Structure 1
């Protein structure tokens, strides 16, 4: 048994024991795909203790490259939109823009996709091509279409898939637009997060088909959701839980904040819910549905810290601070942001703050909402 075969067997056993790999069909598919073939250009590893975060390349001639390829962890493969590991000598302090997702999450998602032989699947976000290869192994090449936004990333994935003799329909373009030419699909799976489910996905999934995607937002909380598409271009389905986090699709990234309005203006009142609740992941996820275009920041104003929600589109804001054990909110602009948060969280609290796994998301062309 070669080194990579031994490491792959260990990874399969670990994913099986952890519950992310549950069925024999997906276990066989995963066991047939060597992950290191999709990481031959190397990856970036965070530099311990660096502040701000710095990244150093790990290349395939390094001592621990092969072992790391089979670790159950996400591996950053691109920095700042264009920079590959082979482009760097030393360290770089920029934001990651592409990665190979930890295998246990990808296999959990493929299990949750509820796919059967004969189904057509559209994958949004080819990335390295690893998950595409597993899909092709479970189904067949001609049943899988995958779209990648970045041309360089797409080309490296194409080469890696070709080395394994896999030739699915690979497209380069905006995955949020889907693939109208080969629609309808039985399943759509996204390996990036979206703020709102794109209308083309609803239109390109046959009624009764499913969309598996991570819904995130600008309050930085996201969850995996499985939506069943209905007649009339709507969809609904359960939140699957697990605090799943993917990079937001680039067109769904938040806008720059620009110049903030005068936060000393606006109407002030005592808040019934304080901003401290937003330290909780699930609470932020629920709140995002009420203020989908708001971002959160902390500022030092008038000798105290203020937690601020700001909507760059409308110029609306809600600034909260604690005073004598009470939370005071000051709101300005056309949208009363904290009113909306309190109403949303109030309904959730009235229901007993159920876990997200008890929630259902409903999607239309114009709206996205969460229910218990």
Structure 2
């Protein structure tokens, strides 16, 4: 039976080997803070839904604690009557945590605001790297915060933990050198930028549409703007105030205003690949998409819907070809086709070539290669 310490060493070695962890001071923090202190003994589940129980299956529980995988610690905000089965809090995958903390470029003396305490592991790592008195962590859920505080005590860490809505930051502790969000945002809250010193960084998972997120590192400027690059794909649970509504695919019986045949390769497949899907979500405004079985079990169909519910489209098999149907004031499938064509004309850039600028008035603009390069304004939700 491998001890927790040996599992921890093996995990850190793997993070080094993958390139997720490079900074030696940060690596020392990972060594100083055992992850299993922050995994509940009972009630947590793997991302596949398998339950974890430290008493009944201690080996399996410890294996999960030191795997490079997230562990779900709360479903449906802890409300058993909701029964939706939606994960709402987790202990993030170690590789993802390392990537985010490396992206923050932490230095001795930095003061950090963490938005989303979760299990407390990330706050403990920050405290081990910078000092307990240099870290403030805000959590909106009282039950999650209670568990995090208990875990921090077990780990011997005492960062300041505050119950509150992280969208508003924590002005009492401002200004901060770094704001690190462990929840995804479509609109970067103005408070995060205002509470960061000029030249400081706001590090967050940013998303134009659920399911197509990236890690953003924004530098705060003296005029109240913030701008910076995307650092690759990254998925996180959304900031509670920015949770999207439930998906609303068009009903199967909905009649289209327009139907046309599509010849050539599978038009759905490109949108299942992250680089294409990301580029399209940036360029097409206020929409969502999903997959469901095609009628008669003949494969899959793609559905698209505007967020206001007034327009929809679907693409489904039609013998050797495909059929595109759309209805409403917007021709959503046309917009998606145009966005893909634009992306191909730009050379099919990867998400890492994009970045984000948040203007002093809160306007968001995604750009390619440089802030002055080709760009796409992001509408308010």
TM-score normalized with structure 1 length:
0.84
User: 2:288 aligned with 1:291, yes or no?
Assistant: no
Task: Report if aligned partners of 1:314, 1:335 keep a CA contact under 8 Å in 2.
Answer: no
> Paired residue for 1:71, among 59, 63, 67?
67
The aligned counterpart of 1:50 is none
The aligned counterpart of 1:96 is 87
Task: Report if aligned partners of 2:76, 2:86 keep a CA contact under 8 Å in 1.
Answer: yes
Q: CA deviation at 1:250?
A: 2.8
> Paired residue for 1:249, among 234, 239, 258?
239
The aligned counterpart of 2:4 is 4
Q: Could you say what secondary structure the match of 1:197 adopts? A: coil
Q: In 1, distance between residues paired with 2:193 and 2:285? A: 20
Q: In 1, distance between residues paired with 2:320 and 2:214? A: 32
> Paired residue for 2:171, among 180, 187, 208?
180
Q: CA deviation at 1:223?
A: 1.6
Q: In 2, distance between residues paired with 1:234 and 1:326? A: 48
Matches within 5 A, 1:275-286: 275-286=268-279
The aligned counterpart of 1:82 is 78
> Paired residue for 2:335, among 334, 340, 344?
340
Q: Could you say what secondary structure the match of 2:146 adopts? A: helix
Q: CA deviation at 1:70?
A: 2.1
* Structure 1 residues 184 and 315: CA distance shift in structure 2, 3 A: farther
User: 2:303 aligned with 1:312, yes or no?
Assistant: no
Task: Report if aligned partners of 1:289, 1:368 keep a CA contact under 8 Å in 2.
Answer: no
Q: CA deviation at 1:165?
A: 3.1
* Structure 1 residues 104 and 334: CA distance shift in structure 2, 3 A: same
User: 2:186 aligned with 1:191, yes or no?
Assistant: no
User: 2:17 aligned with 1:17, yes or no?
Assistant: yes
Q: CA deviation at 1:94?
A: 2.4
The aligned counterpart of 1:41 is 41
Q: In 2, distance between residues paired with 1:103 and 1:176? A: 24
* RMSD, aligned CA: 3.0
Q: Could you say what secondary structure the match of 1:240 adopts? A: strand
Task: Report if aligned partners of 2:217, 2:229 keep a CA contact under 8 Å in 1.
Answer: yes
Q: CA deviation at 1:342?
A: 3.3
Q: CA deviation at 1:10?
A: 2.1
Relative to structure 2, which stretch is displaced further, 17-26 or 340-349? 340-349
* Structure 1 residues 336 and 27: CA distance shift in structure 2, 3 A: same
Q: CA deviation at 1:20?
A: 1.4
Q: CA deviation at 1:114?
A: 0.7
* Structure 1 residues 54 and 32: CA distance shift in structure 2, 3 A: closer
Q: CA deviation at 1:296?
A: 1.4
1:271-327, CA deviations, whole angstroms, 9 ceiling, x for partnerless residues? 799343211112111111233532213464699864221123252223334557665
Mark the runs of 5 or more structure 1 residues left unpaired by the alignment: 48-52, 85-91
* Structure 1 residues 153 and 367: CA distance shift in structure 2, 3 A: same
* Structure 1 residues 298 and 13: CA distance shift in structure 2, 3 A: closer
Q: In 2, distance between residues paired with 1:144 and 1:234? A: 24
Count of residue pairs brought into register by the alignment: 358
Q: CA deviation at 1:100?
A: 0.8
Matches within 5 A, 1:152-231: 152-218=143-209, 220-231=211-222
* Structure 1 residues 297 and 145: CA distance shift in structure 2, 3 A: same
